[in-house]
Structure 1
């Protein structure tokens, strides 16, 4: 296993933009911060891309993202393949859906224009090709129409996605659900106070390691107090600080083992060609595990001490405002 100098990122996504003005216009990119990147594309913040700078197409909306990439380079590979499905070597020529029919002035194949069907179909294809099939990826949809197109394509696709591929939907709440009934609670002539709307879509995606706080708290206790014990898979004693160990991510379980042993256990006895696990069960607690979450915790523990300290730092208690001095 290669030694990483940094932990796996908390979030890095490949996103699909669609113009809210012209629904036939799409853009594909990658970022560790979707809300900020969307603001750049819409001219709210500096940055963005020349192809999204036309005011006639703004504002753009982020209709779908793929998350779970182990780093920037991995996300860029997927982004380029999705943006250039007619050229990408990650797609076997026999399985290619998008084919170039025109050439540029330099003689290179010209990328066919995007459409909702082409983006959806190539997204489905890339998530099941050998290059990306076993990555711990997750697909999110934030637009009902785009998700509907996805379901339609899935119903006719020749090959399905792997069963463990998470598909998440998070659509904008309907106007009716945002109406807060406050009958009789407001005084006559006063407007009822409306609570802030809950975050949804890209604004609800975790941009830091906060979702791992409980897991990191547990593993910090295990390794700080040298409770590694024996490998839960092979039974061999685990000397403190002398190996690369991964831990079960389930609450209450302190199962620890060699990374190689975990890998072989989660792959199962029938795996001969695969080297990267996807998911499985802990041999100690029998709880469900995902390889991506285990590796994120392990690399964070080993190569992200500042992030761990920040994650476990207790928030300061807010001081009560001083009472105004009596006149």
Structure 2
């Protein structure tokens, strides 16, 4: 079997879904496209899950999600652990917050009932265990009451999250009004264009504001391409030894604008881990730190996303930089025409 290497996805997340009709009805899932997935759960496009197909519970809303997973497999592992906290091996038995009190016919423990508090408490626990604590994750909240419940649990939890874990809120000015306006459609009237994800009057807040492609990394990716295309990599910013591209090694680029600091992947990793200090001997991957050249903050997850795009995502990079390259070529043509010279 051939293993197909792919770049880190632009977005892959694990989300918490809540019925706007009955707040006690909750669902956990994963997706690379939250707006499309929400439309599926609400019956506006084909797909969705059987558990969310009841019209009496629609419309659903995504009240929170965790983004930054390096692959669909990583997201599915996190989703399974959050859905099954009573049996997940990622949670030490002494730290469990959920316990099964019943058994299935096959003898396996039944999944305990969910509540918003239980999901948020287990989310907090998962983000603090070694299996996930150092992943480049971000927590997003799209409902004020859910965020408030999260803060309450964070204040009383015994184990604290790492201080650099980003928590983002986006409630939107008309969040309640928009959610109330979404009605479950008549299945017989669902248009074909809706099946392909076409939507009108799409909100600009919450899950609809999340970047679904690599556009936020465009300038960073373009800089990395130029550095290696024109062989401006120089010496490693950490070990100071020359970087030889024909050695077949992996090299990471500083993510800060204007900085062309390049280093061996192993050197970057060791340097950032030393800077973290309290990471512990068991830590293999860093979270982030300061670039040794520009002294600006860098995040390991962002650097790895650019690196995997550069070495594995040639089609994605070509698509991302296509417009920019077209404009550059057009400018060169205009300059050539202006001087009356033909560019060879």
Contact 2:202–2:208 (CA under 8 A) maintained in structure 1: no
Hey, what does 2:266 align to over in structure 1? 260
1:238-257 residue pairs with structure 2 within 5 A? 238-242=243-247, 243-257=249-263
Q: Aligned residues, how many?
A: 298
Hey, what does 1:303 align to over in structure 2? 312
- 2:117 equivalent to 1:111: no
Within 1, Cα distance between the matches of 2:111 and 2:71? 26
- Residue 63 of structure 1 aligns to a residue whose secondary structure is strand
Contact 2:15–2:62 (CA under 8 A) maintained in structure 1: yes
Q: Displacement, 1:172?
A: 2.2
Hey, what does 2:197 align to over in structure 1? none
Hey, what does 1:290 align to over in structure 2? 299
Gaps of 5+ in 1: 179-195, 318-327
Contact 1:246–1:258 (CA under 8 A) maintained in structure 2: yes
Within 1, Cα distance between the matches of 2:16 and 2:177? 27
Within 2, Cα distance between the matches of 1:235 and 1:215? 23
Q: Displacement, 1:107?
A: 1.4
| Alignment equivalent of 2:212, drawn from 207, 212, 216 | 207
Hey, what does 2:287 align to over in structure 1? 278
- Residue 246 of structure 1 aligns to a residue whose secondary structure is strand
CA deviation map 1:45-99 (0-9, x unaligned): 1111110001111111000010000001000000000000011000000000000
Gaps of 5+ in 2: 179-200, 328-344
Within 1, Cα distance between the matches of 2:176 and 2:60? 24
Q: Displacement, 1:241?
A: 3.8
- 2:65 equivalent to 1:75: no
Q: TM-score, length-normalised on structure 1?
A: 0.88
Shift in alpha-carbon separation, 1:75–1:260, aligned structure 2, 3 A = same
More helix by share: 2
Shift in alpha-carbon separation, 1:160–1:283, aligned structure 2, 3 A = same
Contact 1:171–1:201 (CA under 8 A) maintained in structure 2: yes
- 2:133 equivalent to 1:133: yes
CA deviation map 1:229-272 (0-9, x unaligned): 10000011001242210000100100000000000000016442
Contact 1:4–1:303 (CA under 8 A) maintained in structure 2: no
Contact 1:14–1:29 (CA under 8 A) maintained in structure 2: yes
CA deviation map 1:7-52 (0-9, x unaligned): 1100000000000000001000000011111111111111111100
CA-atom RMSD, angstroms?
A: 2.0
Q: Displacement, 1:104?
A: 1.2
Hey, what does 2:53 align to over in structure 1? 53
Hey, what does 1:172 align to over in structure 2? 172
Shift in alpha-carbon separation, 1:177–1:248, aligned structure 2, 3 A = farther
Q: TM-score, length-normalised on structure 2?
A: 0.83
Within 2, Cα distance between the matches of 1:227 and 1:104? 62
Within 2, Cα distance between the matches of 1:204 and 1:231? 37
1:86-97 residue pairs with structure 2 within 5 A? 86-97=86-97
Hey, what does 1:313 align to over in structure 2? 322
Q: Displacement, 1:175?
A: 8.1
Shift in alpha-carbon separation, 1:149–1:80, aligned structure 2, 3 A = same
- Residue 226 of structure 2 aligns to a residue whose secondary structure is helix
Hey, what does 1:217 align to over in structure 2? 222
Contact 1:266–1:277 (CA under 8 A) maintained in structure 2: yes
Shift in alpha-carbon separation, 1:234–1:4, aligned structure 2, 3 A = farther
Q: Displacement, 1:174?
A: 4.1
Q: Displacement, 1:4?
A: 7.3
